[in-house]
Amino acid sequence: MSLLVYGINHRTAPLQLREKIAFGESEQPQSIQNLLSDNSSVKECFIVSTCNRTEIYCSIESGNSENIKHWLTDEKPVSNEELLNCSYEYWDSDAVSHMSKVACGLDSMAVGEPQIMGQVKRSIEIANQCSSIGENLDLAIRAAISAAKEVRTRSKIGENAVSIAYAASSLATKIFSDLSQKKALLIGAGETIEIVASYLNRKKIGSLTIANRTISNAEALASRYKAKTTSLSNVNSFLHEFDIVISSTASSFHIIGKGTAEAAIKKRLRKPIFMVDLAVPRDIEPEISELPDIYLYSVDDLQEITAQNVQLREEEKVFAESIIDEAVKEYEAEARLSDDISFITAFRDKAEQIRLQELHRAMKQINNGKDPTEILGEMSRSLTNKLIHSPTSAIRQASRAGRREIISNLKEIYEISDLNTVKSNEVSKKTTEE
């Protein structure tokens, strides 16, 4: 079995393509089942889908990614031609290395951003609920998550934190120097919106309203940041009341359309609205950016803003990558051991079978009245002969065939470092006796 990571991200694919193949949390279970049922070569899988990437992680029998590509083009409105120059794939140890870099934020738009770890863990949690993670992926996941935690703990990659949510919030403070008189509308109630809410709350935002389809989720978040709540269906009717609008939902359609935005601007008497769309697919219709007095930023627009601390974090990347390299080496050793564990089990079982046979024979003889001391001697000789029979035969065959590497391996296994020294000691002993 091989490990494969197949996907696209913010460096390889534009936002329009990433939107097409995004997998919301609610659709991931069915998509995972479709992937496993449609492809017999795929044995395990999970999907990581964020605003910056969609990646399929799987344990696969075949040595190519064609089955994954075909499934993706069937599952989403995307063609092979669109994916051709935008997708990438990583195999086996490289796949584990990539997973580690994703989990610790080394592969993020904002290097070192902390949200991705939670997003990866959530993807794994969903896959576990679908029973789509087995031994192979589990070993890789444990190695990657452990490496990511080491990177976060031992390096400074997370200092001067810059995430997309942070970038959106900090941009608001640059546009409006004083937030105490401003009203903000946050659409959604997930982790990203909570980060934004926390930041704006610290910056003493004048008024904070959280809109969400599920009111209870909005209320739970609002209670922590002294915010108001409203239903998502009400947004269009009072959009004009807000100076700042930041949206991050898993909606499959636009929540704010161009017509709604035009009406809001008219009611505001041309007072500007700052909008940030952090969702993939987008919550805010892109054409809104054409309107006067509306400043709309998408996920991709924030890339320049997040670059402020990139240089500082780049200096830490070398150290972080060395931590990951060590983790990958450890994974490779564990993977090799896992591959050979069945042999080790069979080897020990065979030895145990020989032991039990000899023990049974010896006990039978003792019960028949034979001298126990004599029986123990016979048992030890018989047990030794049977245990060394196979290695002795292998040595003879290897010697005749000139396969010195087998003899060298057996010398290492049995810790016989110098046969000449052994032979010399035997000669010296014999001479002394004579």
User: Exposed, middle or buried, 196 (CB in 10 Å: 0-12/13-18/19+)?
Assistant: buried
Give the whole-angstrom CA distance, residue 66 versus residue 69: 5
Structure tokens at 100: 């580690």
Give the whole-angstrom CA distance, residue 261 versus residue 135: 51
* Residues paired with 280 in a beta bridge: none
ω into residue 281 within 30 of 0, thus cis? yes
Distances (CA, A) of 199 to 109, 225, 300: 20, 10, 21
Give the whole-angstrom CA distance, residue 249 versus residue 392: 68
Structure tokens at 399: 């010697």
Distances (CA, A) of 328 to 95, 324, 325: 10, 6, 5
- The catalytically annotated residue of 51, 58, 86, 104 is 51
Structure tokens at 380: 């030890």
Pick from 11, 156, 128, 124: which is nearest to 57 by CA?
Answer: 124
CB distance 138 to 89 below 8 Å = no
Q: How far apart are the first and last CA of the chain?
A: 62
CB distance 257 to 285 below 8 Å = yes
Amino acid at 344: I
| 51 belongs to the catalytic site | yes
Amino acid at 97: S
Cβ of 239: how many Cβ atoms within 10 Å? 21
CB distance 96 to 90 below 8 Å = no
Catalytic residue numbers?
51
